[in-house]
Amino acid sequence: MGSVVQNDKKAVRRGRIRGGVAVLALTAIASGCAQGGGPGTAGSRPAAGQEPGGTPAGASRSYADRLRADHAERVAAARRWGLEEVPLVPPAPPARKPRITTREGFEVRGHEEQDLPPVFTTVPTERKVVFLTIDDGADKDPAFLRMMSELKIPYTAFLSDYLIKDDYRFFARMQAEGVGLNNHTLHHPYLPGLSYQRQKHEICGMQDVIEERYGERPTLFRPPYGNYNRDTLRAAKRCGVKHVPLWSEEVFVDHWEYREWDRDLHPGDIVLTHFRGRNDWKGSMPDMIRRFLNKVTRKGYAVARLEDYL
């Protein structure tokens, strides 16, 4: 009896994936065909080879074909990686980026007066999007890279040199897929316990590593453990940092943890996880991503790219 129930559940999940994609595809195709169509006069006819509204018939069909192909790829990837539903596609980046300010209670002395980088746990937006951020760089699982590439899930990495220096190329592959590589210090120390000069060495030193290895100097910095003081933010600003994103939720391979009392997702939330695998968790990074995506999709959220909103 147990196997029958499990098979029924799998069938339901497959049905959700097929059904969800069919609805998305039809909606997208309908909206795509409607684009460019204006109100015509009574009795008017399109020119030869054109759809109503002046869109070339071949171009309209080609657009619809591309949509079908894209959705077919997404449903195949969702099934291949064992997801309950197809991840939602995020909206286009905002034309005007939101103003980022420091969360109340997260300020340091002289924060505004010295124009120190804002510290925040969520991005102000009404869109149902969340942002996935991954810290440190310990586990380097090629299956994780394949999963994120095939599912087209954006994320932002915060790296520490002592963990990535044994395989810089792994993160170069990540960067080639459009992932932002950002600063998590050289050695992952407890920064408030260090002098200003030592904090500056940890932060600026990692800026140098990322610029040398990957060609770009980061503007995002996350302090280890989420701990910082006034010297941390002063040093970060001196090193070229513009934003200090923390997090609202943290996802592990077997559970979630929440900062807020309601233990729920909210538009613009930043989600933290780590490059960790079976050596540290009871599962792999793909297992963790599966848990993450199943929840955010079930809640009606898409995963967007953090840098697009900053």
Provide the pLDDT for residue 59. Answer: 65
pLDDT of residue 78: 96
117, 244 Cβ separation under 8 angstroms: yes
- The tens place of each residue's pLDDT in the chain, 310 residues long, gives 444 334 444 444 444 444 444 434 333 333 333 333 333 333 333 344 444 444 555 666 787 888 888 889 999 999 999 999 999 999 999 999 999 999 999 999 999 999 999 999 999 999 999 999 999 999 999 999 999 999 999 999 999 999 999 999 999 999 999 999 999 999 999 999 999 999 999 999 999 999 999 999 999 999 999 999 999 999 999 999 999 999 999 999 999 999 999 999 999 999 999 999 999 999 999 999 999 999 999 999 999 999 999 9
> Residue 170: which of 140, 144, 208 has the closest Cα?
140
Model pLDDT, residue 190: 98
Reported residue count of the chain is 310
Q: Is 218 left (phi over 0), alpha (psi -120 to 50) or beta?
A: beta
What is residue 175's three-state secondary structure?
helix
pTM: predicted TM-score of the whole model, two decimal places: 0.81
In DSSP terms, 273 is beta-bridged to 134
- Please identify which residue in the block is written with the tokens 């050596």: 279
Angle between helices 285-298 and 142-151 (to 10 degrees): 30
pLDDT of residue 172: 98
| pLDDT number for residue 66 | 81
Torsion of CA 296, 152, 169, 139, to 10 degrees: 30
